[in-house]
Amino acid sequence: MPAARPAGAGVGLVDRYGRRATDMRLSLTDKCNLRCTYCMPAEGLEWLSKQAVMSASEIVRIVGIGVGRLGVRELRLTGGEPLVRHDLVDIIAELRRNHPELPISMTTNGVGLAKKVAPLKAAGLTRINVSLDSLHEETFTKLTRRPFLDQVLAGVDAAWAAGLGPVKLNAVLMRGINDAEAPSLLAWAVERGYELRFIEQMPLDADHGWTRRNMITAAEIRDLLSTDFVLTPDPRARDGAPAERFEVRRRVAGSGAGLGPVLGTVGIIASVTEPFCSDCRRTRITAEGRIMSCLFSREEFDLLVLLRSGASDDDLARRWQDAMWLKPKAHGMDHVGLDAPDFVQPDRSMSAIGG
Ligand SMILES: Nc1nc2c(ncn2[C@@H]2O[C@H](COP(=O)(O)OP(=O)(O)OP(=O)(O)O)[C@@H](O)[C@H]2O)c(=O)[nH]1
Ligand SMILES: C[S@@+](CC[C@H](N)C(=O)[O-])C[C@H]1O[C@@H](n2cnc3c(N)ncnc32)[C@H](O)[C@@H]1O
Ligand code: SF4
Ligand code: SF4
């Protein structure tokens, strides 16, 4: 067990490896209306009770502590599926009232998004990321186990039209299912001005079906795209972001890279083969108010029980700092390696952690 946070560790959410978490990811719910194969089992999971999940006022208080005392500079709302929370718009409005300058983004599967974009924007949401693994009805339904592609596409367009851009799209590539679709998905995205990111599948599925051999790697993704496109590193600083970004140009037979116009940007999130843990700036709060210092943490620290027992903001801030001090170096361990022999997949699925 590593030593506890020393008195002189400094302000904010610092850890033993010299990182400072400024990017807060907050799960609003563990519930979801899709059943993506890389995340949830077909039958779903046993949902948390309403009482177990943070209320709107508890969320607002916790975010207030993060921003006001601990140096949180940006907030991402996630889940489960944040849109299934009935008080979502009220939560965002209250957060915005308290933190006029805070970037507040949301990651969503886009189901039912189209009719909510106007209130979300009006409440103060800054921008949105939507998961979209396929443009083909059949493939989409196979991957998500639900026939909602049209709703997701309508949601993406509506988000852009409502000014919730830049709209980023997340696609997890699965071998033999949607990997061959990578170039057409990218062509579709750049044509509309969306930033597509391809994501390496991580071992966070409730079914525990992940294998290193079967996952599509970042190198394969670059290769898959290279027939149609030329990718060159995006000159903008990566700044701790999971996605490595590339400028996208169409490959024209007989011409070299850089000759055609830049069509847009693509990101590759290579959590497995090209990890970015040494630059990690994340702190996570699960829907039931537990601090997870890393996506793969096996240790969680309860903030909500403390809050409900009447703790002061000082006590809560200290608990959060203590938890973050113990943040693992990478992938829940003291070294990188989601395929290392000592890696143990967390009991929680991505949906239950808050992706
Ligand atoms: N290894 C690792 N991967 C993460 C982490 N957080 C998110 N991811 C992966 O990154 C993907 C994209 O996350 P998003 O929620 O869309 O947001 P983002 O890319 O972090 O943020 P922006 O680019 O600022 O919009 C997720 O689907 C995960 O697969 C993390 O803390 N560690
Ligand atoms: C857990 S979901 C929560 C938000 C929302 N339900 C959605 O799907 O966008 C957040 C992100 O995690 C990604 N994700 C889920 N399981 C994953 C896995 N095993 N490996 C990599 N990314 C995963 C999804 O593709 C999605 O972009
Ligand atoms: S990835 Fe998102 S949409 Fe898909 S099952 Fe998980 S929480 Fe739901
Ligand atoms: S695996 Fe853990 S340390 Fe690595 S980037 Fe994700 S949250 Fe940060």
Domain harbouring 94, CATH code: 3.20.20.70
Nearest Cα residue to atom 5 of ligand 2: 108
Asked if residue 112 is part of any domain, the answer here is yes
- The pLDDT, as a whole number, for residue 271 is 94
Least distant ligand from the CA of 292:
4
Does some domain include residue 6? no
Residue 116 within a domain: yes
pLDDT of residue 253: 72
Please state the residue numbers annotated as binding site for GTP.
25, 76, 107, 168, 282-284
Secondary structure of residue 170 in the 3-state scheme: strand
Residues framing ligand 1 (Cβ under 6 A): 76, 78, 105, 107, 129, 168, 170, 199, 241-243, 269, 271, 282, 295, 355
Identify the domain containing residue 308 by its residue range.
15-353
Which pLDDT value is given to residue 259?
Answer: 65
Q: Is residue 7 part of a domain?
A: no
User: CA-CA-CA-CA torsion for 155, 29, 245, 274, nearest 10 degrees?
Assistant: -140
Which sign, positive or negative, has the C-alpha torsion 62, 63, 69, 70? positive
Query: Ligand 3 mean position to 35 CA, how many Å?
Result: 6
Ligand 1, pocket-test mutation among 104, 109, 170, 266, most atoms within 8 A of CB: 170
| Element of type H or E holding 78 | strand 74-78
The residues, ordered by sequence, that sit 6+ positions from 236 with a Cβ below 8 Å of its Cβ are 245
Q: Is 351 in the pocket of ligand 3 (CB under 6 A)?
A: yes
Closest residue by CA, ligand 1 atom 12: 170
H-helix segments, the chain: 56-69, 88-98, 117-123, 137-144, 149-161, 182-192, 218-226, 304-308, 313-325, 350-353
Nearest ligand 2 atom to alpha carbon 133: 25
Is residue 9 within 8 Å of residue 20, measured between CB atoms?
no
H runs (alpha helix) in 130-209: 137-144, 149-161, 182-192
Query: Which residue's alpha carbon is at the smallest distance from atom 6 of ligand 2?
Result: 81
Structural domains counted in the chain: 1
| Residue 236: Cβ-neighbour burial (10 angstroms; 0-12, 13-18, 19+) | exposed
Asked if the structure places residue 131 within a domain, the reply is: yes
89-95: Cβ within 8 A, 24+ apart: 89/116, 89/119, 89/120, 89/123, 90/56, 90/123, 91/28, 91/56, 91/59, 91/60, 92/120, 92/123, 92/124, 92/125, 93/123, 93/124, 94/56, 94/60, 95/59, 95/60, 95/63, 95/124
The angle at the Cα of 345, spanning 139 to 349, to the nearest 5 degrees, equals: 50
Predicted pLDDT of residue 189: 98
Question: From ligand 1's centre to the CA of 25, what distance in Å?
Answer: 10
Q: Is the CB of 348 under 6 A from ligand 4?
A: no
Q: Is the CB of 297 under 6 A from ligand 2?
A: no
Is residue 259 a part of any domain in this protein? yes
∠130-134-135 over CA atoms, to 5°?
100
Q: Which amino acid is at 277?
A: C
Domain assignment present for 9: no
Residue pLDDT tens, the chain, 355 long: 788 898 888 889 999 999 999 999 999 999 999 999 999 999 999 999 999 999 999 999 999 999 999 999 999 999 999 999 999 999 999 999 999 999 999 999 999 999 999 999 999 999 999 999 999 999 999 999 999 999 999 999 999 999 999 999 999 999 999 999 999 999 999 999 999 999 999 999 998 999 999 999 999 999 999 999 999 999 898 888 999 999 999 998 766 554 689 999 999 999 999 999 999 999 999 999 999 999 999 899 999 999 999 999 999 999 999 999 999 999 999 888 888 888 989 889 999 999 8
Indicate which atom in ligand 3 lies nearest the CA of residue 40.
5
Task: For residue 3, tell me if it sits in a domain.
Answer: no
Kindly report the length of the chain: 355
d(CA 130, CA 260): 28
Predicted confidence at residue 254, as pLDDT, reads: 66
How far is C-alpha 37 from the chain's CA centre? 17
Cα separation, 207 vs 164, in Å, equals: 34
3-class DSSP string for 281-321? CEEEECCCCEEECCCCCCCCEECHHHHHCCCCHHHHHHHHH
Does 32 contact ligand 2 (Cβ within 6 A)? Answer: yes
Q: For strand 243-250 and strand 264-269, is the pairing parallel, antiparallel, or unpaired?
A: antiparallel
